Amino acid sequence: MSVSGCWSQYTSGGVAQIQALECIILQFLHIIVRLAGLAAFVMIIVGGFKYLTSAGDPKAVESARNTLTSAILGLALVIGSWFILRFIEEFTGIPVTQFTFPIAP
């Protein structure tokens, strides 16, 4: 389901229906992934700046390394979790990366 056409599909007369919750969750997940990428980028910049300004101080260098390591690990975790979900989807055929409510008959 695309994010752009999601809202108009589940509203009638300006009133949201329960299926609009799919759109909300989809939007939330897209925002979280983008924020995780942005946070990793900012932390890599901060860690690099801390490393450049450490002037050889062992504590400052260690702090910069920890910041860089945490940022790269967080980014790898987000990307790895997406690839794991895609692998499960391809292996089992169950669409685990698509969120939908079943429609009542």
The domain locations on the chain are 6-92
Q: How confident is the model over 9-46, as pLDDT tens digits?
A: 655 666 666 667 777 777 888 898 899 989 999 999 99
Give the angle 49-54-59 at the CA atoms, nearest 5°.
120
Q: What are phi and psi of 96, to 5 degrees?
A: -75, -15
| Total residue length of the chain | 105
pLDDT at residue number 40: 92
Cβ burial of 28 (10 Å; 0-12, 13-18, 19+) is exposed
